């Protein structure tokens, strides 16, 4: 039994070393991928649950490495944060997203022009002057500020509330809109919802997933009511079934996003989503 314990311990150490090795390899590949600008945004459409219009597209980072294959953002964004690569990567992705969004206007067909929604990592938000970076990218690309939405999570607001508030205000003064991502999963004090220049609440997909059960359904309903009372737009993430869509629409949720409508698609496919959507 003693020996067994020691063997287990050795196996554990080996596993850990393997894990670390894998991480080191990913980190090295990530550095190269960022240098070559190989990580690009795909876009997941967001639809009005009221009239079916295409209201926005969320940029989601995609990385297909020649050696590692497809690596998901849940793996590489945290590594990019820990290694500081997120600063360069974040600006790269924002710039790409703005340039892509510039090609989405279809004035000839009278269709609405979807907004582009870009995630900003809490680490990046804390460390860098995000307002300055966004200003620079908007100036460089020529995208009107009103076409850009920045998604931040609640953790951003807890770390340094004063600084976060100042940054959000700067962005909002530029005309950029701000969405609070994964809403309901953080430790929000509801008072800041009133004091910050927010435009949108994104209901976390775990609540939408469990909406067939009363507790989650009540949380979703409470968030929608909260949004209505504060004059914020509410969007549900992770809408996968027709039943969920109908429940959300009935509860008064304005917008939805999820596999029911579409997964994230490459930039070149967005125009197809625009043409398939009904005029707003
Ligand atoms: P998120 O911002 O909450 O993004 C939503 C995630 O849910 C995406 O995963 C999306 O593909 C997935 N999703 C969309 N619809 C459905 C659905 O109906 N069902 C389910 N189960 N999932 C759905 P993805 O692309 O793997 O991204 C994971 C996370 O990585 C994102 O969560 C975000 O936190 C981060 N991330 C992705 N791209 C970026 C980026 O460009 N910058 C930063 N800072 N973070 C990013
Ligand atoms: Ca998001
Ligand atoms: Ca989210
Ligand atoms: Ca998330």
pLDDT on residue 181: 95
- Distance (Å, rounded) from C-alpha 11 to C-alpha 241? 43
Radius of gyration of the chain (CA): 20
Q: Name the strand (E) or helix (H) holding 4.
A: helix 2-35
Question: Atom 15 of ligand 1 has which residue's CA nearest to it?
Answer: 258
203 DSSP β-pair partners: 183, 236
pLDDT range class, residue 61, cuts 50, 70, 90? very high
Ligand nearest to the CA of 204: 3
User: How many Å lie between the centroid of ligand 3 and the Cα of residue 209?
Assistant: 13
Cβ contact 94:56 at 8 Å: no
Distance CA 271, CA 261 (A): 15
Please classify residue 232 by burial: count the beta carbons closer than 10 Å to its beta carbon, then call 0-12 exposed, 13-18 middle and 19+ buried: buried
**Tokens representing 143?**
């995208």
The pLDDT confidence band at residue 2, using thresholds 50, 70 and 90, is low
State both tokens at 238. 């992770």
Q: Which residues line ligand 1 (CB under 6 A)?
A: 44, 59-61, 72-74, 77, 93, 119-121, 181-182, 205, 237-240, 258-259, 264
Label residue 127 by pLDDT band (50, 70, 90).
confident
pLDDT, one tens digit per residue, over 89-101 is 999 999 999 999 9
Contact indicator for 237, 257 with CB cutoff of 8 Å: yes
Q: Is 149 helix (H, G, I), strand (E, B) or coil?
A: strand
User: Per residue in 132-183, pLDDT tens?
Assistant: 999 999 999 999 999 999 999 988 877 777 888 999 999 999 999 999 999 9
Complex ipTM over 0.90: yes
d(CA 255, CA 57): 12
- Tell me which ligand sits closest to the C-alpha of residue 44: 1
How far does the centroid of ligand 1 lie from the alpha carbon of residue 211, in Å? 20
Q: Which pair of structure tokens corresponds to residue 210?
A: 């469990």
Q: Which of 88, 92, 93, 39 is nearest to 65 (CA)?
A: 39
d(Cα 196, Cα 193) in Å, to the nearest integer? Answer: 6
Contacts of 109 (CB under 8 A, 6+ apart): 275, 279
Pairing of strands 69-71, 115-119: unpaired
Whole-number Å distance between alpha carbons of 111 and 277 = 9
Distance 136 CA to ligand 2 centre (A): 22
> Ligand 1: which atom is nearest the Cα of residue 151?
2
* Run of H or E residues at 183: strand 177-183
């Amino acid at each position: 039994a003693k020996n067994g314990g020691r063997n287990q311990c050795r196996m554990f150490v080996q596993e850990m070393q393997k894990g670390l090795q894998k991480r080191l390899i990913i980190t090295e590949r990530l550095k190269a991928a960022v240098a070559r600008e190989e990580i690009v945004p795909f876009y997941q459409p967001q639809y009005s649950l009221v009239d079916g219009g295409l209201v926005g597209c969320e940029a989601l980072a995609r990385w297909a490495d020649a050696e590692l294959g497809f690596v998901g953002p849940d793996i590489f964004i945290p590594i990019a944060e820990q290694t500081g690569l997120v600063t360069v990567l974040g600006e790269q992705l924002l710039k790409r997203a703005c340039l892509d969004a510039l090609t989405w206007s279809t004035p000839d067909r009278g269709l609405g022009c979807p907004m582009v929604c870009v995630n900003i990592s809490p680490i990046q938000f804390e460390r860098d002057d995000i307002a300055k970076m966004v200003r620079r990218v908007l100036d460089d690309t020529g995208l009107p500020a009103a076409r850009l939405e920045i998604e931040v999570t609640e953790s951003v607001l807890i770390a340094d509330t004063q600084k976060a508030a100042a940054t959000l205000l700067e962005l909002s003064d530029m005309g950029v809109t701000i969405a609070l991502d994964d809403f309901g999963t953080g430790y929000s004090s509801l008072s800041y919802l009133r004091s910050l220049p927010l435009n949108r609440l994104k209901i976390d997909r775990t609540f939408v997933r469990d909406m067939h059960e009363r507790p989650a359904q009540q949380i979703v309903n409470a968030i929608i009511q909260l949004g209505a009372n504060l004059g914020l737009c509410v969007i549900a993430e992770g809408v996968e079934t027709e039943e969920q869509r109908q429940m959300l629409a009935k509860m008064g949720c304005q917008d939805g996003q999820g596999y029911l409508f579409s997964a994230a698609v490459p930039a070149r496919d967005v125009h197809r989503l625009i043409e398939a959507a009904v005029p707003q």
